[in-house]
Structure 1
Amino acid sequence: MTHLTRRAAMAAATVAAWGAGGALAQGATRLNVVAFAGASNLVIWAGQAQGHFARHGVEVALELTPNSRAMATDLYAGRYDLALTSVDNIVAYNEGQGEARLPGPSDFAAFFGVDDGMLSVMAAADVADLAALRGRAVSVDAMTTGFAFVLREVLGQAGLAGQVEWVAVGGGAQRLAALLEGRQAATLLNTPLDLAAEARGFRRLARGRDAVGAYQGIVAAARRGTLAAKREALVGFTRGFRDSLVWLDANRAAAAAILTARANMPPPVAARAATALLDAERGIFRDLRIDEAGLRTVLRLRSKYAEPQRELTDIARYSDPSIRAAALG
């Protein structure tokens, strides 16, 4: 058996043994987690399979949401204990700028960071550059939340402000499907969805980080009441997430196999996705930080584009660093 064959066999065994390594610790606290298609799911899938969350007294039940409106409504209602979502969604709802009408004031807070969004503008093969999007349809999750303002900034810098047709489609998986079906000419996708589009012949026109600089993308967030009531479990979740990330970094072939099994990605694309997600500089944050400079960029873009318009500067309003400090300190 060759070295590559042995690695493939070990990776396959990891996926085949799903659940065997994830036996729950007795008396584990269940956390209901909602997320979008993206980087954080790889970490959770691996953590469930390898028992990283269970070792810290947590049972993680993961569901995917179709869009940010459903995410905010369900998180507020207590259907989920925490969300893996863009920090811009947290800011939007705390500022009363979200698209869903909540029954009362939002009290969402981020407690650790995952990535900078890993965002790219992906377009149909016949779109040569950003200028070619003039007069064509581009999609976002929702017009006032998520990563919509990153795409508006990218297009604005290209001289396309007011020159495209905006369509609200839903989360990344929904936008990828719409792009593949030809319903829009372009959209903003995160990794690994951008790689799935690229593998189908779609074109990368721009990277979000090149246009906006430092940016805080996905975070783990909960209602402040949940942060207090389930503090011990959330500390355990943070530790399990960190341990799962460490394991993935040391088991790249297994990481790719998980993406193939759970995200239905062809093995070559899954391998590229695992490499991108686990890149020490541009991938998932090893220290789970909430990047202050990145959060300031989120506030700057929201101050520029959101309605009702207001100047946002206080980054402390949207996060609670104590969970991460207790877990990793």
Structure 2
Amino acid sequence: MAGALSLTGLVKRFGDEVAVDGLDLEIGEGEFFSLLGSSGCGKTTTLRMVAGFEEPDSGQILLDGRDLAQVSPHKRPVNTVFQSYALFPFLDVADNVAFGLKYQRASKDEVRRRVGTALDLVQMGSMSKRKPHQLSGGQRQRVALARALVLEPTVLLLDEPMGALDAKLRKQLQIELRSLQKQVGTTFVYVTHDQDEALTMSDRLAVLDKGKVQQVGTPSEVYSAPANTHVATFLGTANLWPATVTGADQQGVTCSVEGATLRIADHEAKAGEAVSVMVRPERVEVVATASGADGSNVLKGRVDTLTFRGAHTNVRLGCADLHLEAEVANVAGAPPEWLSEGADVAVQISPKALRILRS
């Protein structure tokens, strides 16, 4: 089946606006790859260029080494699932899924077999005679997926297909879609602005901003080791402060951060360098007193606000001039008794949890 996609130097302008600005990406065969970014970052335009709905001003789109530039959209071995699903209301589920096969001149037996297989893949075989208005949003999305998969594309493009669904259904379908992709082995390129979707489903993801790739990596790499401040703040919640490197030794560096001195396990920063320092809230440990901490980067603070989030409590606190956010696990179903608004507490941050960013 293959499905290795190579995007090189892609540029797309709309008038004076540069929507995609010299984009380079390598997407592997059978990979679930997500394009993640806010509205206007260029992710959907990139997807449309791969599909053939937009023509790049410059650059190459290679699928398994074949240049798609001169291949019309309906002849490209790719298919697209849109947010709107675009099902035909007058056709039942089976006929919606079979619609594209008429252009492949498949026999009736082959159409029946392929439609049945596609519907079974998305767990919709028992609803083949229903019309779209008789289906839930999640069921309509499954039919749209089956309609795309029945054509056996080399690459499946998905443009925010869960955008119209409620949060609970989206989480359920994220897991199902990931499992389906592994089952069929098709290369999936998924466009989303939802960081949870990208983290949950992707083998790798690219964070885009202003038409440029900011970082490419596995979800854990991009989340834990962001390349710059944009990635750090877009993907998840981050404590981010301006800082100055004040010293370096074999264990790492020390930084002056909002009046506090923090040790960081970084061996590339140099004394006197102006940087940004980041730590994720879940890696900030809150303890009742400083005597309950053991190690570097222990600071005394006072709780400003608490927000109950179910599995954890979000804690905003100040340590002198350093204001930060932390998460405390609700292992007993509620925050610890000593944790209340206005309480004096201490925080500890491992030097390995802190990261130095330069842009």
Query: What TM-score results when the alignment is normalised by the length of structure 2?
Result: 0.25
Structure with the higher strand share, 1 or 2: 2
- Radius of gyration: which is bigger? 2
Structure with the higher helix share, 1 or 2: 1
